[in-house]
Amino acid sequence: MSKLDYCFSNDYMVLRPERAGPVEFLHLLFSPKVGRNRAVDCFTSTEVRSFPRRLAIFLNLLLQVLVLALAGPLAALGATLELLLNLVDNVLHGRMEYPDKSSPTYRSVTGLIDRRVDLDRSIKPTDDRFDAALCVMASKLAYENEAFIRNVVTSHWQMEFVRFYDCWNEFQNAYTAQAFVFCDKPVDADVIVVAFRGTRPFDAARWCADLDPSWYKIPRLGRAHAAYTHALGAQRNIGWPKWVEHIKGKAQKVYAYYTIRDALKELLESNKKARLLVTGHGSGGALAVLFPAILAYHKEKAVLDRLAGVYTFGQPRVGDAMLAMFVERNLDRPKKRHFRITYGDDSLPRLPNESSAVHFLHFGLGLHFDKSYKLKVLREIPGEETSSSPLDMVTSRINSAWELGRGVYLGYQRGAYFREGWLLLLMRALAVALPGLPLHRVQDYVNAIVLGGFIPKDN
């Protein structure tokens, strides 16, 4: 990849862990001229004189190198574990067959941890929580294969599955976006939903993207997270043209933003009363908030006028103050439409780390649920600005023990919908010994939305 690939941006800093070696690491520690470092793509004249910030970049690069080095073993471990768990699941449910990864009964690790697929029947379409409840279940479902998603949407939810998208991007070492689209009825739909897939537990490339503080500064838009920009379909050399069909060789490729945007235009045109919801968990939430931002960047008013809400769950930071103002100006006026939902001590919303990404911040209406599923409306996540201490490890273990106890009694107190299976309880038990292990679990977001009560629509 050459620096011409970034010429659509008037400023950028992209970390390249695949180029990082001893020389590059030492250069980061002892020289402020990061523009001359092979492991950092930016303007040659760029200097970072702050040693703490260079140290943060150094540590971030080192962590990415370590994670990528484990990518193969992690993927093999994840695939083996997922296959074995599905085999056990088949036996327990009387299906004496070898698991087929493309079948409607094959579950991801996320789906095995929280087996719920039905919508909570107590929340009706007229309920204030319906959009959030539908979105959190769609965000959880996005981790599954296409056949599983289709079966749940059509058979369990009695809704209309539209399409699953496994997309392409232009950049090396960048993960691709996956998403699916569905609506509540085949004709005259009232709601259309786009759900982006988040980070799977054993996907090293996505974890690196979540850790990575790389960014582009895009004119009129602001600084945007590089990896999520890649995943949505930014074009090499030219960034975000409004159309890509006329570019030679690109018409047949599935770029997330362009393909989903065009599909939504057709759906909204044929369903005049439908409102649009966009959602995602983890890195899927990052894609979910950047998607309408690019719609606004391209002045796609016909789509944006039908947007009823963007619901993100455990979303990491995606941009700077300029991007925040752009999104809030286009999504949150005259009413709030971006709802950024966080739970407990979930670590992913605290990424990229502030010390290595001084430009990144949170925006949107922050709805934070504590470990008792009580809701607070906040700009930042509790404890985000405080430094870590040895006491945090003790506190984390106490919280994990409390969550384990809650997981045991919640099903008896609230009913079968909240009863936790053996695998989830095992993970909660492991979290007591290994604090932080299960903190990015989507099932706690499902519980928070269903049990948390009223979802505010404005500050």
Asked if pLDDT for residue 386 goes beyond 50, the answer is no
C-alpha distances in Å from residue 58, one per residue of 25, 26, 135, 338:
6, 9, 37, 33
> pLDDT value at position 4?
44
Residues 9-51 pLDDT 10s: 778 899 999 999 999 999 999 999 999 999 999 888 889 998 9
Domain membership flag for residue 226: yes
Q: Which domain, by its residues, includes 135?
A: 12-451
Domain membership flag for residue 377: yes
Sort strands 191-196 and 178-183 into parallel, antiparallel or unpaired. Answer: antiparallel
Q: DSSP letter for 177, please.
A: P
Domain membership flag for residue 459: no
Domain membership flag for residue 5: no
Domain membership flag for residue 456: no
Paired tokens of 299: 């002045």
Q: What angle do CA 188, 189, 192 make, to 5 degrees?
A: 150
Residues 417-431 pLDDT 10s: 999 888 888 888 888
Residues 113-148 pLDDT 10s: 999 999 998 899 888 889 999 999 999 999 999 999
Please name the residues in contact with 109: beta carbons below 8 A apart, sequence gap of 6 or more: 78, 81, 82, 85, 200, 201, 202
CATH of the domain at 300: 3.40.50.1820
> pLDDT value at position 1?
46
- Exposure string of 146-162, with b = 16+ CB inside 10 Å and e = fewer, is bbbbbbbbeeebebbbb
> pLDDT value at position 235?
81
Q: Identify which of 420, 456, 413, 410 has the alpha carbon closest to the alpha carbon of residue 441.
A: 420
Q: Identify which of 393, 288, 419, 285 has the alpha carbon closest to the alpha carbon of residue 342.
A: 285
- How much of the chain exceeds pLDDT 90, in percent? 52
> Per the structure, how many domains does the chain have?
1
Domain membership flag for residue 207: yes
Domain membership flag for residue 2: no
C-alpha distances in Å from residue 333, one per residue of 5, 26, 328, 364, 374:
34, 48, 7, 11, 27
Q: How confident is the model at residue 206 (pLDDT cuts 50, 70, 90)?
A: confident
Alpha-carbon span 293 to 216, nearest angstrom: 14
Helical packing angle, 204-211 and 71-92, nearest 10°: 120
Mean pLDDT for 379-390 is 56
Instruction: Give the sheet arrangement for strand 222-225, strand by strand.
Output: 40-42, 11-15, 215-218, 222-225
Domain membership flag for residue 198: yes
- Its pTM stands at 0.93
> pLDDT value at position 249?
56
CA 103 to chain centre: 25
| Dihedral sign for Cα atoms in the order 6, 11, 14, 20 | positive
Mean pLDDT for 260-274 is 95
